[in-house]
Structure 1
Amino acid sequence: MIDRLTPRILALVGCLAALVPAFAQNDLRTAQARLTLQFLTDPAGEQCRRIETSDPASLIPVALHRTFHDDFDEHPLLNGKWVPHYAGGAAWPQARYWGGDGSDFKRKTTYNGEQQIYVDPRYGGRTTTPLGLDPFKVRDGILSIVATRTPPALKSVLFNNEYVSGILTTQSWFSQKYGYFEIRSKIPVGTGVWPAFWMLADDGGWPPEIDVMEGRGQRPGDLVMTTHWRIPATGRVGSCGFDFSLPGAVTDFHDYGVLWMRDRLVYFIDRKPVSDIKVPIGFDDPMYMIVNLAMGSKYFEGVGFVDAESPVTVEFEIDRISAYQFDSY
């Protein structure tokens, strides 16, 4: 979600159902306390690659146990697991976290050209009085992060952002080095709509960044999984990832995850491996999880800027978010 570069390698994958044997499948409606996933036996390369094999001999299992879970049976700000803004770390210069509670610096990434501000019921914008804006709705165990047009009367108070929306992060509460991180969600669409589930280093630095799932709002059924790192020789940011076509992503819940190992990152859709990459340099610290619904993007193709055709209200529906650690590693 930061310093967004167009992925270098793109591929449309129309069918994901036959990638791993049936015994590797788990009930996707729940987040089991224990989980088994599979990945390729041969080492990952320096650049990411698609995984299209259904040969059991090419896949090996790994066992994990659950370390974090929220199935959103209650409001996400009631359980102490989430923070509704970027929480800190001035080592990430573009975020300028030191703006303070009365600033929008903790509540959007201006560099991306985002046109929303992340709010919560206690946030007052330019004032010290809470505005009572709540972008988080829970219904029947489903969390919706809701983006709506900013009320005209509050626009100046909210730094003239076009939308109010929501973000949840586990920074300073939960982070983990290695393991499996997963969201089960639907992916909303529309001009300017940019939902994401991603990870950053808990020390506040950037990169590294793992984009487990990003939606391109102008391209229904198109989702992106990308790794970002800094190249030591040049100081530039390297990126490698793929687009995947999943027509039911808008209407149906699917699981999107990443398995972080010492030597590789493996991306999963519905717990089937779809791509991997050798872990780049710089992935040394535990990482925390972020889920958000941004509106508008300067660099991320297929999102676009907010315009008259953008929806008045958008809901990013999330069934659960979970993390797992290896049984032995």
Structure 2
Amino acid sequence: MIDRWTRSALVATGLLVASVPGVAQDDLDGAPGSIALQVTTDPSTVECRRLERVDPTSLIFLPLRRTFNDDFDEHPLATGRWVPHYAGGAAWPEARYWGGDGSDFKRKTSANGEQQIYVDPRYSGRAATPLGLDPFRVKDGVLSIVASRTPPELKQVLFNNEYISGILTTQGTFAQKHGYFEIRAKVPVGHAVWPAFWMLADDGGWPPEVDVLEGRGERPGDLVMTTHWRIPSTQKIQSCGFDFAVADASSAFHNYGVLWEEDRLVYFIDRNPVSDIKVPIGFDDPMYMIVNLAIGSKFFPGVSQVDAESPPSVAFEIDRISVYQIEMVQARR
């Protein structure tokens, strides 16, 4: 999600597009207590690559046990698992993490040119009492994070943001080092629409950052998975990621995940590995999860600024979010 720091790095590493099977995995609806993911045992010397041709003799199944799961059978704020705003603590170069109008309330990230403010029923903005705005809807076990144009009468109270939307984070409630992190969702489309499922270090620093899923709202079926890190000697931010084409991503549920092993990060779509990277320097602390629906960007390709074409409302539909821990470590060849 932190695109203003990464545009040149993505270009430098050669952002690529790959197609993946466009069939929803209906047999993966649930989140079993344990799963096994197919991974490669080849030496983790590759800095960043798209997994197109993997030596089948190097593949093994890695067993994992579930440590976190939300099927969204009830309102996300009723469980105590989620916080509806940035929890704070991050100290990033040149700007506070949540900078801009309303920044003291940790309700937006303006550095990217985002034009929404994140609300929840208890949020009051500039008002003296809560506004009762709820961007979260739950129906039939599916959570919808709904972004909608800010009511004109609330524009000033909500720091003149064009949209109200929602964010959920587990900072302070759940974080884990290593394991498999997965979201099952439909990726919304539309002008200026920017959905994401991502991870940050629990110590509040940045980077590292793992973008498990980002949707390019103006490019239906195009989504990106990216790793961000810092070079200690130069303090420069480096990034490597790939775009993947999932034709029915906006109309069918798919699983998007990342496996964080000791030596590599592996990105998955429908539990099929699609890219990996040797774990960069700085991935030392547990990471917490963030899921949000942003509106508007100055830099992220496929997401523009709000205009007349932007939808009056749009929903990020999420069936579940699950986390697994590695059951046992397999020796590398």
Mapping of residues 258-269 of structure 1, within 5 Å = 258-269=258-269
Whether the aligned pair in 2 keeps the contact of 1:296 and 1:305 (CA below 8 Å) is yes
Taking structure 2 as the reference length, the TM-score comes to 0.92
Residue of structure 2 equivalent to 1:15: 20
Q: Structure 1 unaligned segments of length 5 or more: list them.
A: 19-24
Whether the aligned pair in 1 keeps the contact of 2:98 and 2:108 (CA below 8 Å) is no
Deviations along 1:149-203, one digit per CA (max 9) or x if unpaired, are 0000000000000000000000000000000000000000011000000000001
Deviations along 1:93-137, one digit per CA (max 9) or x if unpaired, are 63456999x756511111011000000000000123100000000
Distance 1:284 1:245, change over 3 A: same
Distance 1:163 1:171, change over 3 A: same
Residue of structure 2 equivalent to 1:238: 238
The question of 1:128 aligning with 2:128 is answered yes
Whether the aligned pair in 1 keeps the contact of 2:22 and 2:246 (CA below 8 Å) is no
Distance 1:150 1:103, change over 3 A: same
The whole-number CA distance in structure 2 between the counterparts of 1:294 and 1:104 is: 18
Farther-moved stretch of structure 1 (179-188 vs 27-36)? 27-36
Aligned-pair identity (%): 70
The question of 1:201 aligning with 2:201 is answered yes
| Alignment RMSD | 2.0
Residue of structure 2 equivalent to 1:21: none
The whole-number CA distance in structure 2 between the counterparts of 1:17 and 1:122 is: 39
State the AA in 2 paired with 1:217: G
The whole-number CA distance in structure 2 between the counterparts of 1:15 and 1:28 is: 17
Deviations along 1:42-86, one digit per CA (max 9) or x if unpaired, are 123453101123653131211000000000000000000000000
The whole-number CA distance in structure 2 between the counterparts of 1:17 and 1:314 is: 22
The whole-number CA distance in structure 1 between the counterparts of 2:283 and 2:72 is: 30
Whether the aligned pair in 1 keeps the contact of 2:97 and 2:109 (CA below 8 Å) is no
Q: Structure 2 unaligned segments of length 5 or more: list them.
A: none
Residue of structure 2 equivalent to 1:307: 307
Deviations along 1:243-283, one digit per CA (max 9) or x if unpaired, are 00110101000000000011000000000000000000000
Taking structure 1 as the reference length, the TM-score comes to 0.93
Mapping of residues 55-134 of structure 1, within 5 Å = 56-92=56-92, 94-96=95-97, 103=103, 105-134=105-134
Residue of structure 1 equivalent to 2:322: 322
